[in-house]
Amino acid sequence: MEKKSLIVKIVVLVIALVLALLSGIEFWQLRHYKETIVASEDLTEVKWFSDYVPSLKNTWMDTPVFIFDSGVEGGTVFVCGCPHPYEPASTMAAYLMIENLKVTKGRIIIVPRANYSGSTEGMVGDAYPMFFHVSSDWGISQYRIGDRYTNPLDQWPDPFTYVNYPSGQNLAYQDIRNLNRTYPGRENGTLTERAAYAVMEIIRQEHVDMAIDMHEAEILYPVTSTYVAPSKVLDREKFLATGEMEYYEPEKSSLDVAMMAGMNLSDQFLMKSASSPNTLHGLSHREWADWSDSLTFLMETPEIFIDKITGPRTEALMTEGKDEFLQKVTDKGLTYFPYDMEFGTPMWYRTGRHLTGALEVVYWASFFYPEMEVEVTWPTYLEMEELENQGVDSIGYFLKNPDAPENKDRAFTIYYKPVGANYDKY
């Protein structure tokens, strides 16, 4: 009897060890997986977060910053992808920009994976896939999904309450690892705060005129399909002198630009506009405007994958966005987006919305304020829609093969530190 009990214990232990090994392999694969992109010929320079905040060097939050300078005087646009890695259409839009961008006036600065650490883990308890895939005529590419927060392997422990600096506003404890709650960041703060500070330093040091933060949101969230932009900004001098937060209407209005962009998009897709609350701190649409001179915009696309009432969190749910439960909720008028399960919210649709939504911001900001004019092209929503109607994977269509001989000199591995000498030649 004792011998049988011992055998059972050994079998259970072996099974547990095998499961632990398999899980460990999956964790390692997600942590160390590298994505490769091919930059457009207009690329002029590659920097890193650590060029702006040296203490980020050799951390999992260091990430490449791609700069495209036309050489013609004009404005500067900053585009932030992957602030929340489990909103991957923002990263795909940034990748398509980097691979296909043509700029003839001004500069474009793009960070495709702003919270690199958060892209190296999955969201605890949600049991969703590590990767999604994109087909092209040269093969299948694999991309991470990631989490909302910085990986706890890189920043731990969380406090009981997170206090945003310098506003002093209390936020949820886990928001200390949420890049879009830690702005304007601190140079000597936590890893996430230092990444937020690096973003602010890019905006300030590079004299950014238009800063665009790309996100995705649940259709049960009121701000989905929305530009969020400030109508008022902080009187920084008064705050630094007295600690009082007083706001005023700036001469150049982000909200005016966002409203015009949203109205002009109405014949393509729904895009609302909302004013950034003065009392809600830590977010890009608030702090970028308060702590720099840039026009600032946050864009949200509808991503049902992160709604809480869907069926199984599968790769198809992420890439196709079709769910019967959300259709029933929509039919009862309880969602903030006109959801249609037959069409869904596919990855190409969300990516295309970001691409065209950003172009509209650039156009209207240049129209209102000619001194910051930027002339740039990249793939648009309508171009992607036309390809999809022809049965072509529109994301894959605009991705270049990094292994093709003509692209090898412009192929870049998106990783937390430089890999290969080609990063240094620009």
421, pLDDT greater than 50? no
Question: Within 13 A of 319's CA, how many CA atoms are on the CB side?
Answer: 17
Dump pLDDT digits (tens) for 143-186.
Answer: 999 999 999 999 999 999 999 999 999 999 999 999 999 999 99
| Residue 120 C-beta-side C-alpha neighbours within 13 Å | 23
Pinpoint the alpha helices (H) of 269-407.
284-290, 315-320, 324-331, 347-368, 381-389, 394-398
In tens, the pLDDT along 174-185 reads: 999 999 999 999
Confidence of residue 423 (pLDDT cuts 50, 70, 90): low
Domain CATH code at residue 103: 3.40.630.10
Q: Does any domain span residue 269?
A: yes
Mean pLDDT within 120-134:
89
Residue 26 lies in a domain: no
Q: How many domains does the chain have?
A: 1
Mean pLDDT, the chain, rounded, equals 95
Q: What distance in Å separates the CA atoms of residue 220 and residue 309, rounded to the nearest whole number?
A: 10
Within a domain: 25: no
Return the structure tokens found at 211: 């800063």
pLDDT digits (tens, 9 = 90+) for 94-110: 999 999 999 999 999 99
- pLDDT, tens digit (0-9, with 9 covering 90-100), for 224-249: 999 999 999 999 999 999 999 999 99
- Does residue 14 sit within a domain? no
Is 324 a member of any domain?
yes
pLDDT grade for 24, boundaries at 50, 70 and 90: confident
**Residue-wise pLDDT tens digits, 348-367:** 999 999 999 999 999 999 99
Please tell me whether the overall predicted TM-score, pTM, comes out greater than 0.85 for this model. yes
Domain that holds residue 250: 33-424
Let me know how many helices (H) and strands (E) the chain has, helices first: 12, 18
- Closest by CA to 132, choosing from 408, 407, 351, 401, is 351
User: What average pLDDT does this structure show over 303-312?
Assistant: 95
**Average pLDDT rounded to a whole number, residues 419-425:** 54
Please tell me the predicted confidence (pLDDT) of residue 2: 74
Given a cut of 90, whether residue 332 has pLDDT beyond it is: yes
Q: Is residue 24 part of a domain?
A: no
> Taking 70 as the threshold, does the pLDDT of residue 77 lie above it?
yes
- Cα Rg, the chain, nearest whole Å: 22
The structure tokens listed for 235 are 């009187």
